[in-house]
C-alpha cells in the first residue's frame, strides 16, 4: 500500500479503514480467494476510492500546482520568477484532464496505470493526455527561451 500511495499516513489510514470495515461486516463477508489476496484488493480499491474523493473534495490540481510552484518560487522580480510564471500559465492552459494526468504523473509520480485508475480512464488515454501536455509545455519552453534571450540581451 505504501508503494502505491507514497504516503505512509495515507497507507496506514487505508489499511486501517479496510480492517475496520472487514471487522464490522465479518458476518456477511464470504471470501472465495485467500485472505491475503482479499486484503490486497480491498486496500487497493479503498486507495482508489480515497483518491477519487480527494479529487472531488479539494482541487487536487490546485494543490499540486501550488506545492510545485512553492518549491520553484524564486525571489520576486527575478528572471526565474518570470520563467515560473510562464510555466504556470502553460500548465493552466492545458485541458483539465490533460493537466490532471500531467500533474499526477510528474508531481505525484504515479505510473500511467495508477493515473488511469484514479481518473477512471485507460492507460492509452493517459499516454495521450501526457503527450499533449508535454507538447504544449515544450512550446512554452521555446517561448521561455526566447524571453530569456531578450532579457539577457537587454542587460548588455
Predicted confidence (pLDDT) per residue in 82-128, tens digit: 677 777 788 888 888 888 888 888 878 888 998 998 889 999 999 99
Predicted confidence (pLDDT) per residue in 37-68, tens digit: 888 888 888 888 887 776 655 555 666 666 66
Class of domain 59-156: mainly alpha
Predicted pLDDT at 127: 92
Q: Give 2 or 77, the one with higher predicted confidence.
A: 2
C-alpha–C-alpha distance, residues 87 and 116, integer Å: 25
Are the C-beta atoms of residues 99 and 91 closer than 8 Å to each other? yes
- Residue extents of the structural domains in the chain: 1-57, 59-156
Q: Give 82 or 136, the one with higher predicted confidence.
A: 136
Of 105, 129, 128, 130, the C-alpha closest to 115 is 105
Predicted pLDDT at 156: 44
Predicted pLDDT at 122: 93
Of 6, 24, 18, 5, the C-alpha closest to 46 is 18
| pTM of this prediction exceeds 0.75 | no
Average pLDDT over residues 64-73: 62
Amino acid at each position: 500500500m505504501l508503494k502505491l500511495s507514497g504516503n505512509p499516513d495515507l497507507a496506514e489510514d487505508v489499511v486501517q479503514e479496510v480492517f475496520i470495515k472487514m471487522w464490522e461486516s465479518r458476518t456477511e463477508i464470504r471470501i472465495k480467494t485467500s485472505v491475503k489476496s482479499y486484503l490486497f484488493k480491498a486496500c487497493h480499491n479503498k486507495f482508489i476510492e480515497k483518491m477519487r474523493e480527494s479529487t472531488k473534495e479539494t482541487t487536487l490540481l490546485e494543490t499540486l500546482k501550488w506545492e510545485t510552484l512553492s518549491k520553484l518560487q524564486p525571489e520576486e522580480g527575478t528572471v526565474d520568477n518570470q520563467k515560473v510564471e510562464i510555466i504556470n500559465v502553460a500548465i493552466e492552459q492545458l485541458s483539465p484532464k490533460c493537466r490532471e494526468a500531467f500533474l499526477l504523473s510528474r508531481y505525484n509520480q504515479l505510473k500511467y496505470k495508477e493515473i488511469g485508475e484514479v481518473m477512471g480512464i485507460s492507460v492509452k488515454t493517459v499516454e495521450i493526455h501526457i503527450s499533449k501536455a508535454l507538447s504544449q509545455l515544450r512550446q512554452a519552453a521555446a517561448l521561455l527561451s526566447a524571453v530569456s534571450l531578450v532579457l539577457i540581451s537587454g542587460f548588455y
